Amino acid sequence: MQTSTENTAKSKLQQLEGHLRSRIRGQDHVIPRIVSVLQRGELGLTKRERPKGSFLFLGPTGVGKTEITLAFTEFLLDAKHLFRFDMSEYQTQEQLPLLLGERGTVALAYEQSHTGTLLFDEMEKAHPRILDVFLQILDAARITIGNGQTLDLSGFYVVFTSNIGSADLLNLQHSTAATLERHVLTRAQQSLRPEIFARINEKLVFHRLTFDHQLEIAALLLARELEFHRSQGHVLEADPSVLPFLVRHGFHPKLGARPLRDAVEKYVGDAVAIDLLTDGSASGQLVADAAANCLVVR
């Protein structure tokens, strides 16, 4: 007989796909495959000597690879259970102890929690010795740190991200999605060690964001920002001119939607601050002022 706790856990897993679709825009094609791995991991259907699940997220910067990792970790556990490692910081022999030493970043993360998600950003930039560590994690859910201690990582999901092949996507932008994905996966397979590539559960290619998807992401971020200001007593309604303005100022051809959050905070915050400093209530309609290149409260 199932307990109420088990029923609650299963109900949460059934809601996972809907939650990710509400948080992530333009990547609907990857979500079911991610959910499949996560559901098996949470139900204990993975082998004990492996991580709960592993992913390789490929595609341009700022299209949702990190955001979806945060979203599923936050939903299943808590945001504090996401441990992120920027592999561009571990490119030389001298930097290895910072990651793998007795008091390195992996050991410190393990001290905080024995479950969660390990996110290795831009894995292709890691020193070759770290690739051996990746193989150890994927093959046995173990990692040996500087003092010889072996850490059990079977309670973690492992996510690798890479921009391999992304630069070529501009030249192939008129190709079908299947052709683009096949090209990027081929490039990744050629660039990464085959024994590592083969052991990753899901290799997924994230697409470039269309303008409509950019608007949807801006709308999500704007709604959160307006909710924050509402909690401060400033009730604002956004004019239709606001979203295109935010996308123009916050979406970058190379960085994708990554700068968008900062742009939303800056332009909405500036509008509220200016209105308050001119004896306004910072409540009303938020409008884009093209001439002044800013948002204003009216």
Collapse the DSSP code of 286 into the 3-class scheme (helix H, G, I; strand E, B; otherwise coil) and give the result: strand
Residues shown for the chain: 298
pLDDT digits (tens, 9 = 90+) for 14-66: 999 999 999 999 999 999 999 999 999 999 999 888 999 999 999 999 999 99
The first and second tokens of residue 130, run together, are 């770290």
Question: Which residues of the chain register pLDDT less than 70?
Answer: 1-2, 4, 169-174
Please give the pLDDT value at position 198: 94
Please give the pLDDT value at position 2: 64
CA distance 16 to 72: 8
Please give the pLDDT value at position 171: 67
Sheet holding 53-58, edge to edge: 82-86, 116-121, 156-162, 53-58, 202-205
Please give the pLDDT value at position 7: 76
Q: Which domains does the chain have, with CATH numbers?
A: 4-205 (3.40.50.300), 211-297 (1.10.8.60)
